[in-house]
Structure 1
Amino acid sequence: MRPPLRKLVGSVMMLVLVVVYALVAMALAEGRVNDTPVWIQPVLYAALGLAWVLPAMLIIKWMEKPARKAPADRR
């Protein structure tokens, strides 16, 4: 895949990731985190707030891969 197309696809994937993750994190925070003891809640909120970084790093790493070079002509 050519780098400009890879960056476009990666950007769309990042937008989808952020939107879907935000909705999932809000649902978890509302349903599960509020039921935990108060002293554990900051740790859970921090984990939920940072967990999207790992998949985002993988997408960025994929976006930044160099293009494949065409095989050299053999004579």
Structure 2
Amino acid sequence: MILLVTIVIVWALFFMALAQGRIKDAARMWQLIYYVVAGMGWVLPAMVVIRWMEKKPDDAE
């Protein structure tokens, strides 16, 4: 759970800093695309972590 929260926080801070530096001057369409990708992009790494958390140990039967 700590890893999942860490991923979300780091993801948000990184893309927020990137948006403040480069995206604010872009055209509206590029801003929309950026925010959709940045807003939904954390789901893929989170799915990997969630699958790992749900995985049963090899010795469990």
TM-score tier (shorter): 0.7 to 0.9
Give the structure-2-normalised TM-score. 0.87
Q: Are 2:51 and 1:68 equivalent residues in the alignment?
A: no
Aligned residue pairs total 60
Bigger fraction of residues in helix: 2
Q: Percent identity?
A: 43
- Whole-Å Cα distance in 2 between the matches of residues 53 and 31 of structure 1? 24
Could you tell me how far 1:20 is from its partner in structure 2? 0.8
Runs of 4+ off more than 2 Å: none
1:40 to 30, 37, 42: 30
Moved more, 35-44 or 51-60: 35-44
Unaligned runs of 5+ in 1: 1-10, 71-75
Give RMSD over aligned pairs.
1.3
1:49 aligns with 2:39: yes
TM-score (norm 1): 0.72
Q: Which consecutive unaligned segments of at least 5 residues does structure 2 have? A: none
Q: Which has the larger radius of gyration?
A: 1
Q: Which structure is richer in relative contact order (CA contacts within 8 A, separation 6 or more)?
A: 1
* SS of residue matched to 1:39: helix
> Aligned residue for 2:18?
28
